[in-house]
Amino acid sequence: MSLPTPLINVMDAAARKASRRLVRDFGEVEQLQVSRKGPGDFVTEADRRTEQILQEELSKARPGFGFLMEEGGEVKGENADERWIIDPIDGTTNFLHGIPHFAISIGVERDGELVAGVVYEPIRDELFWAERNEGAYLNRRRLRVSERATLSDALLATGIPFADRIGKKSFMAMLNVVMEKTAGVRRQGSAALDLAYVAAGRYEGFWEIGLLPWDIAGGIVIVREAGGMVSEIDGRPSMLYGNSIIATNQRLYDPLRKLLMDSIRTEKLKLTE
C-alpha cells in the first residue's frame, strides 16, 4: 500500500472539507423535491459554495497554482504552468433530483499534462485518487482495471447527449451497436465517477461525446495509473480539450474503439453530428 503524496493530501483535505457542507445541502435538496419551488436555485448555490471552498483550500496549500473551474471559469496563477481543474458537483442533475450519485472532481494540470487527480464521492465516502507514476487507489486500496478481454463480457458506461449538445446522431449509432455486442450499458450521470469505476474494474469501459475539461480531468490519471488507456474515440490524445473520450483496459481498447468508430462510419456520420 502506498501512502498518499503531499499533492494528493492537499486535494483530499480540500474535497473532504467541501463535502461536509455538500452532504448537508444534499439532505436539503431531498426535502426540496416535494416543494413547488423545486431545488434548482438551491443547487446552483451549492455548486458555487462547494467550488468556493475548494478554491480557498487549494489556494492556501498551493498559492501559485491557477484554476479552471466549472462555475468560476479560468483564474490565472503565478505559476503559469500549473493549475487545478475543478468540478464541484459532477452529477449535478443527480444531486438536483436527490439521487446519491455525484462527486467532487479535482485534476492537476502541469505543463499541459494531467499529473494527478481525485474523485471523491461523499455519500459513500469513496476517495479515488492517483498521481502519475504512483499508482491509483480507492481510499487506501490499490486499483486495477478489469482483466476482461472480450466485448461480450464487458459492462460499459456512457453519457447521453441532451438538449442542444453535440453528437446525438453519432451517439445513437454507437449505442445501438454497443448494446448488441456487450454485456450491458449503464448511464448513471457522472463522468468523473464513470472513469473512477473503470479504474476500479466496476466497468470495463466508458465512452462519451461533448464533455468539458472539468468533467474528466480528475478521472483520467486515475484510469491510467490503474493500468487503463484513455484517449479520444478517434485515438487522438487530446481528450481533455477534445470532443470525445474512451477509457478502458488495454485488452479492450482497440476492439471497443474500432466498434465505436465503425458504427458512425457505417451511418456516414462524424463524432460531432
Per-residue cell: 22:
455538500
Q: Where in the chain is the domain with CATH 3.30.540.10?
A: 6-142
What is residue 41's predicted lDDT score, i.e. its pLDDT? 59
Per-residue cell: 228:
487503463
Distance in angstroms (rounded) separating the CA atoms of residues 267 and 273? 11
- Please determine, for residue 102, whether its predicted confidence score (pLDDT) is greater than 60: yes
Distance in angstroms (rounded) separating the CA atoms of residues 184 and 178? 8
What is residue 228's predicted lDDT score, i.e. its pLDDT? 98
Distance in angstroms (rounded) separating the CA atoms of residues 214 and 127? 17
Query: May I ask the CATH architecture of the domain 151-266?
Result: 3-Layer(aba) Sandwich (3.40)
**8 Å CB contact between 189 and 91:** yes
Q: What is the pLDDT of residues 2-55, one digit of tens each?
A: 789 999 999 999 999 999 999 998 888 766 654 544 565 567 788 899 999 999
Q: Helix or strand or coil: residue 47?
A: helix
Cell numbers 466498434 correspond to 259
DSSP state of 125: T
What is residue 251's predicted lDDT score, i.e. its pLDDT? 97
Q: What is the pLDDT of residues 157-188, one digit of tens each?
A: 999 987 777 788 999 999 999 999 999 999 99
Q: Where in the chain is the domain with CATH 3.40.190.80?
A: 151-266
| Residue 118 backbone dihedrals phi, psi, to 5 degrees | -135, 135
Q: Domain 6-142 sits in which CATH superfamily?
A: Fructose-1,6-Bisphosphatase, subunit A, domain 1 (3.30.540.10)
Q: What is the pLDDT of residues 70-98, one digit of tens each?
A: 989 999 999 889 999 999 999 988 988 88
Distance in angstroms (rounded) separating the CA atoms of residues 16 and 18? 5
What is residue 30's predicted lDDT score, i.e. its pLDDT? 67
Radius of gyration from C-alpha coordinates of the chain: 18
Q: What is the pLDDT of residues 110-161, one digit of tens each?
A: 999 999 999 999 999 999 999 999 999 999 999 999 999 999 999 999 999 8
